[in-house]
Amino acid sequence: MLTASLAWLICLWLAAPDARAEDGHELWLRYHALPQPWVERYRAVARELVMARSPADTAQAELARGLAGLLGAAPTISDRITQDGAILIGTPQSSASIATLNLGLEGLGSEGFVIRSLTISGHRATVIAANTSAGVIFGVFHFLRLLQTLQAVESLALVSVPQLRYRVLDHWDNLDGTVERGYAGASIWDWHKLPGYLAPRYLEYARACASIGINGTVVNNVNADPLILTPAYLEKLAALAGVLRPYGIKVYIAARFAAPIELGALKTADPLDPAVRTWWQHKVEEIYRWIPDFGGFLVKANSEGQPGPQDYGRSHADGANLFAEALAPHGGVVMWRAFVYSNDPREDRIKQAFNEFAPLDGRFRDNVLLQVKNGPLDFQPREPVHPLFGAMPRTPLMLEVEITKEYLGFATHLAYLGPLYEEALNFDTYAMGAGSTVRKVIDGSLQSHTQTGIAGVSNVGADRNWTGSDFDQANWYVFGRLAWDPSLSAREIAEQWVRMTFSNDAAFVGPVVAMMMGSREAVVDYMTPLGLAHLMASGHHYGPGAWQGGGTRADWTPPYFHRADADGIGFDRGTGGSNAVAQYAPPLAALFNDPERTPEKYLLWFHHLRWDRRMASGATLWDELVLHYTRGWQSVQQMRHTWAGLQRFVDAERYSQIAAFLAIQDKEARWWRDATLAYFQSISGLPFPPGTPPPQHTLDEYKTMSFPYAPGNPGWTAAPFADESH
Amino acid sequence: MLTASLAWLICLWLAAPDARAEDGHELWLRYHALPQPWVERYRAVARELVMARSPADTAQAELARGLAGLLGAAPTISDRITQDGAILIGTPQSSASIATLNLGLEGLGSEGFVIRSLTISGHRATVIAANTSAGVIFGVFHFLRLLQTLQAVESLALVSVPQLRYRVLDHWDNLDGTVERGYAGASIWDWHKLPGYLAPRYLEYARACASIGINGTVVNNVNADPLILTPAYLEKLAALAGVLRPYGIKVYIAARFAAPIELGALKTADPLDPAVRTWWQHKVEEIYRWIPDFGGFLVKANSEGQPGPQDYGRSHADGANLFAEALAPHGGVVMWRAFVYSNDPREDRIKQAFNEFAPLDGRFRDNVLLQVKNGPLDFQPREPVHPLFGAMPRTPLMLEVEITKEYLGFATHLAYLGPLYEEALNFDTYAMGAGSTVRKVIDGSLQSHTQTGIAGVSNVGADRNWTGSDFDQANWYVFGRLAWDPSLSAREIAEQWVRMTFSNDAAFVGPVVAMMMGSREAVVDYMTPLGLAHLMASGHHYGPGAWQGGGTRADWTPPYFHRADADGIGFDRGTGGSNAVAQYAPPLAALFNDPERTPEKYLLWFHHLRWDRRMASGATLWDELVLHYTRGWQSVQQMRHTWAGLQRFVDAERYSQIAAFLAIQDKEARWWRDATLAYFQSISGLPFPPGTPPPQHTLDEYKTMSFPYAPGNPGWTAAPFADESH
């Protein structure tokens, strides 16, 4: 009896506020004391922190904070090197010592850094140097990461330069505090209290972004509200920019094309109309008065109901150039989204963006980047890469990926997106022969561009753990790390993240990294295997809905994409079908046109095939489909099992939340499998292969389920607007 | 240089995650170590915690947790008293020792408790005992509060019994996660992840509520969505109830009157229709299968567009009795709201609830409580008390107050509501002669009721500090404390709260309590002095809008209420006007009918008076009005000054948030004053008295301001509905 009471007491005691709260809020910047042998070792290289001249140097403060946490005590502060184990940080401007050292800073640009172990004035020292304070911050976080992951730091000769220039988070946050496709609570931006109140989380957000090299944030939804452009909001945004600036992060605005009408009382938003051009020119000047280092605009135009240049018979290039012209004198850029498709039943939806944009190659101004989603549909668990990559040699293309898991199970499904990003980056477009990977397209090396970038649709919200689940933090992390260097490995990044976020214990790191690396494929298997796509429920996208046809637009419904019928399943995009294959470079077009050569992971994306077709495994397509769905669900069960065995490595709060989420994922993976297969079985009429469990419920039961309040679906902003005079 | 750098470092160092986070999340349950002399003293009475038989006793765990924090170490755990300084807690059922002591538990009911200093078996001991585990929990939190506020605990002989039976928080939380009139972020209920995931904050919420004696929570908005009544949501609610139950808290549902139509596919929701009665009976049985201790329903009917019995020609009593009949066999209650008014231009809006309900006295079933707002309008900064109090002797009346500051400045204005609640509770209705206070009406003593209660519209949200600001926590706190004992003093409760939340230092407690005690009057002064009301902007209620007329309903506009014209200002509710005074008991009716006798704080509520009327001060009404508005704003400036002098007592994060909010309040108090007076001046045509600053802007400038995304205004739920079969 007493023992049970005591157990309960201890349990509550551990949860007491005095104990260190492990609620995920610290992210990977979890500077808890390292194991003692490592503390000893690292203290020898971190005895003394040499302060530069700048009194409020953010990088120095971050380094001191990190070292104090990891090593249990802050290093001595000095104004010069007085002993072995000094750390000297700064720029040639902030530090006379750094200015005199030959560190090769010339080639590092404005964000690169070096970390060098040197002997200076007879003392062993570590130098973290860059040309700008932002570069120094990136270097400091890199150095701290070496300590967090227990790397040797005695003989460092690191040079790191970001491979992409614009590394941006796109927040689909509405001004009312909701987040479209957000699964981590409300927006982190408390617009109502800005500019008067700067919530501490703004600074924490800046630290987290800078620690992984993100250097820009688009603060509002691409389905944009023009009010963000009014003085009241610019004042708020300027206050926010003031918090982000010391961390090297610029703010951007998602601009609404019709703003000159809605705010400016013009009769038109025609991009070639002189009054419209003047309006934007003045608006941009006004923005730069508030925010001198404003980054620029992201624009979604003529897409899903948004206004755009085509409303006036103009092209997307005309539209983008309107903004580019206004921004150019100030150094700002336009990120123009290529995510467009019309309600045209004659043309395959996934072909339309290519049709629209490829002919415009060369017609964009220098400060326009075309922002293209990784796949031609819409952030599905798996898609082949968008055919625009490589196909617009005269236009800088940015890659847009989704970090928030709109189509991969929201916050509760464990799905590490590193492999998805890596798959996209390493996809060979053959645009200029073999080796023309997406990575080389977006880093500018393939087609000689200097404007380069990547955007990730943020998964950050006001939830205490930032991203709705602990494992979703890894997706923010891997996005940032790959944005800095797209050649990094998703597995290595996962390992770093696990070490920083949970534990360096190999008995924990190994199984967790393995679990993460397999997790996205599990989602593909239980949601959309073998090249299937867009099988989710309409609107909120929560759960399966493969049967949901009807409505005003066929191309918003699952049957449009899976095309299952009594004979078979899949979308014929070969030369005999929609001929989407022809949008790829010839070697790929030939590959994808041939069902025998098409990789099975893309098979039903490109081909409509008979249920009884033989697959590589020897099974029929139908059986293979059932086996994939079953395997996906079983993978989740395996993840639950793995996690249950790791309890001793993790604090109670994070352990139990993750365990609860895996249980939800288990239940929902089975739901996805059972409901989707019940539907396809109603079409194929075929039995489940032996040993595979039948669906738990009837198809009709699945069809009756409804979830009107599934999160992330606040509806596109209805764009109210107000007079500018307040 | 170095010094400034160091200062910055220290600043960041203090903010480091290792340092104890003072972000307000701990509320008043902030069990940090007490000053050392007090630790010594209290340890002598808390050497040994005697465990009762129940292995998972929540009260014992709370006590151990509290003592461990406050005294720096947990007491010894024992299964019997072995030394001086024992603490023995439990019920006669859980503890044989308590069963044998003569503690007078008989008269304590199910929630009362005793705390006694006794000598047992030769040892000095403190006994915390009650008839139920809930009572013990209330006692434990009371005991811990004595320690937190540095009270003597050596010779205790406390008996405490709640004076009201239902002490309920009403959450106006929508199922989509928004909160109507919520200013602390999204809803704390994560419906989407329930029942699979029980967020830690549910337990924390339960602890906070129990610590102040709250014993019920209505989880959803009174503008109710019927989906809460479907099995999918009942399963979620049952999971939530499981977290709250150990803390003595029951869950309630705001029920939608039309649910039998919307969910049950009936043709009618007529309360006298047998099929409707059967539907609710079955629904209630279903709810009790999920939640055996379900509390009951809160219903808003025929009010602001909600469906109700009048849709079928039935009375509010018919409607309430429909639910009461279904709930009675299970012990549940109906809290039926009296907040009704129709769009009837012939009748003063504030008279309508009385007109509607007073004649129904005696027609409600035994398990119905009529829930009446403190004033007859709608939670204004000041209103005279609702005339229904005392006027329905055969009906139990619950008091409904607003904790969330819909009309008192949202989250950023410091306004302690204790004095507002106290003013309402101590208001003498004269219903049964002098001394017929609202307190005696609602505690049942005046008119012999045993069903008694109070409801507070919650200010709790997902913000880290729960209520949007630190000082708003005090409003949650004072509501709970007054709900337990309405005779407590708002000032004493404020002092307790300050001590528990910030510091016991007298140099801090004194000025802060003074600031709090004056803060509500400051809001009255800068928003609605001298009995004015409803001068806020429409819809979101953010900021001033005294000029906003028009629209479909005059009684939703400020001019309806202030009635300012060239001659004067105020609403004539005397016998020559709307005669609202006649709804009060004769002595009050006579008082309020006479402008010479009406207290000036209610003056313009009851009378339309000339701008040049002489006030008690000798000033004209116009001058007095300007002076009140000015004084309100100046009070905020004084609060800023006071707070600035208290920085040394408060952690940096809370200090600076409060300072920022006070700066916002200063700005907005001036805006309220200037805009409202600019408007009234445009009507009165009179000059400002000497020495009072003119408005900063023109009236037209104030009129053009718009705030479409002011928080708390998600719109009443449009009540989608779904088939019950999922």
CA pseudo-torsion sign A584, A586, A592, A597? negative
Q: Are the C-beta atoms of residues A173 and A182 closer than 8 Å to each other?
A: yes
Beta bridge partners of B400: B373, B455
pLDDT-flagged residues of chain B (< 70)? 1-20, 52-56, 715-726
Partner residue opposite B17 with nearest CB, options A26, A53, A660:
A26
Partner residue opposite B704 with nearest CB, options A77, A657, A726:
A726
> Which chain B residues are within 8 Å of A706, Cβ to Cβ?
722-723, 726
Please give the torsion angle defined by the CA atoms of residues B412, B418, B422 and B423, in that order, rounded to the nearest 10 degrees: -30
Element housing A50 (H / E)? strand A48-50
Tokens of B531: 């009995």
Tokens of B590: 């006579």
A80 near B CB under 8 A? no
Q: For A411-434, give the DSSP string.
A: TTS----HHHHHHHHT-B--BTBT
Q: Which of B13, B193, B405 to mutate to test the interface with A (most CBs of A within 10 A)?
A: B193
Element housing B508 (H / E)? helix B506-527
Beta bridge partners of B114: B129, B159
CA-to-CA separations, B472 to B184, B467, B469, B541, in angstroms, rounded: 10, 6, 5, 18
CA–CA separation, A602 and A584 (whole Å): 14
pLDDT at res. B559? 97
Q: How many CB atoms lie within 10 A of CB A422?
A: 21
A720 near B CB under 8 A? yes
Q: For A666-694, give the DSSP string.
A: HHHHHHHHHHHHHHHHHHH-PPPPTTPPP
Element housing B39 (H / E)? helix B36-43
Q: Are the C-beta atoms of residues A136 and A89 closer than 8 Å to each other?
A: yes
Q: Are the C-beta atoms of residues A48 and A89 closer than 8 Å to each other?
A: no
Report the pLDDT averaged over residues A541-560.
94
pLDDT at res. A500? 98
CA atoms within 13 A on the CB side of A705: 21
Q: Are the C-beta atoms of residues A257 and A269 closer than 8 Å to each other?
A: yes
Tokens of B584: 């009060």
Element housing B87 (H / E)? strand B86-90
* Residue found by looking up tokens 């938003």 in the block: A269
Tokens of B100: 């044998």
Residues of B (335-364) whose Cβ lies below 8 Å from A? none
Residue in chain B closest to A57 (alpha carbons) equals B5
For the cut 60, the answer to whether the pLDDT of residue A8 exceeds it is no
* Residue found by looking up tokens 């082949």 in the block: A384
Angle at the Cα of A696 from the Cα atoms of A695 and A698, rounded to 5 degrees: 75
CB–CB contact A186 B191 (8 Å)? no
Q: Which of B190, B197, B220, B696 to mutate to test the interface with A (most CBs of A within 10 A)?
A: B197
Beta bridge partners of A431: A433
Question: Count of CB contacts below 8 A, A vs B?
Answer: 203
Q: How many CB atoms lie within 10 A of CB A274?
A: 8
Element housing B217 (H / E)? strand B216-218
CB–CB contact A186 B464 (8 Å)? no
pLDDT at res. A720? 38
3-state secondary structure of A78: strand
Angle at the Cα of A217 from the Cα atoms of A212 and A223, rounded to 5 degrees: 135
Confidence class for position A329, pLDDT limits 50, 70, 90: very high
Residues of B (4-63) whose Cβ lies below 8 Å from A? 4-6, 8-9, 11-13, 15-18, 20-21, 23, 26, 30-32, 51, 53-57, 60-62
B660 near A CB under 8 A? yes
Tokens of B70: 């406050």
Residue in chain B closest to A652 (alpha carbons) equals B200
Confidence class for position A54, pLDDT limits 50, 70, 90: low
Q: Are the C-beta atoms of residues A18 and B31 closer than 8 Å to each other?
A: yes
- Cα A18 to chain center, whole Å? 35
> Which chain B residues are within 8 Å of A697, Cβ to Cβ?
none
Tokens of B468: 């949007």
Cis peptide before A558 (omega within 30 of 0): no
For the cut 50, the answer to whether the pLDDT of residue A668 exceeds it is yes
CA–CA separation, A285 and A326 (whole Å): 8
> Which chain A residues are within 8 Å of B410, Cβ to Cβ?
192
Residues of B (217-246) whose Cβ lies below 8 Å from A? 227
> Which chain A residues are within 8 Å of B723, Cβ to Cβ?
704, 706
CA atoms within 13 A on the CB side of B671: 18
The percent of residues in chain A predicted with pLDDT above 70, rounded, is 95
Mind telling me the catalytic residues of A? 304, 378, 406
CB–CB contact B13 A74 (8 Å)? yes
Please tell me the distance in Å from B726's CA to the nearest CA on chain A: 5
Q: What is the pLDDT of residues A274-295, one digit of tens each?
A: 999 999 999 999 999 999 999 9
Q: What strand order describes the sheet that includes A157-160?
A: A76-78, A48-50, A86-90, A123-130, A113-120, A157-160
CA neighbor of B149 nearest in space, from B458, B654, B524, B499: B499
For the cut 90, the answer to whether the pLDDT of residue A325 exceeds it is yes
pLDDT at res. A323? 98
Confidence class for position A53, pLDDT limits 50, 70, 90: low
pLDDT at res. B582? 98
Q: Are the C-beta atoms of residues B193 and B239 closer than 8 Å to each other?
A: no
For the cut 70, the answer to whether the pLDDT of residue A388 exceeds it is yes
pLDDT mean across residues, chain A: 94
pTM: 0.96
Q: Which residues, at least 6 apart from A213, have a Cβ–Cβ distance to it below 8 Å?
A: A111, A138, A162, A167, A480, A481, A483, A484
pLDDT at res. B19? 44
> Which chain A residues are within 8 Å of B197, Cβ to Cβ?
412, 657, 660-661, 664
Report the pLDDT averaged over residues A158-164.
98
pLDDT at res. B56? 56
Amino acid at B525: D
CB–CB contact B64 A12 (8 Å)? yes
pLDDT at res. B57? 86
Residue in chain A closest to B53 (alpha carbons) equals A1
CA–CA separation, B596 and B603 (whole Å): 9
Q: How many CB atoms lie within 10 A of CB B358?
A: 15
Q: Are the C-beta atoms of residues A217 and A202 closer than 8 Å to each other?
A: no
CA neighbor of B163 nearest in space, from B437, B349, B508, B462: B437
pLDDT at res. B1? 34
Phi and psi, residue A572, nearest 5°: -80, 105
Mind telling me the catalytic residues of B? 304, 378, 406
Partner residue opposite B65 with nearest CB, options A13, A200, A705:
A13
CA neighbor of B77 nearest in space, from B55, B52, B49, B53: B49
CB–CB contact B193 A664 (8 Å)? yes
CA–CA separation, B541 and B181 (whole Å): 9
For the cut 80, the answer to whether the pLDDT of residue A58 exceeds it is yes
Angle at the Cα of B130 from the Cα atoms of B124 and B132, rounded to 5 degrees: 140
Alpha helices by DSSP H, B245-338: 259-262, 274-290, 316-327
Q: Are the C-beta atoms of residues B75 and B47 closer than 8 Å to each other?
A: yes
CA–CA separation, A513 and A520 (whole Å): 12
Amino acid at B438: V
Amino acid at A378: D
ipTM of the complex as predicted:
0.95
Q: What is the pLDDT of residues A167-213, one digit of tens each?
A: 999 999 999 999 999 999 999 999 999 999 999 999 999 999 999 99
Residue in chain A closest to B10 (alpha carbons) equals A61
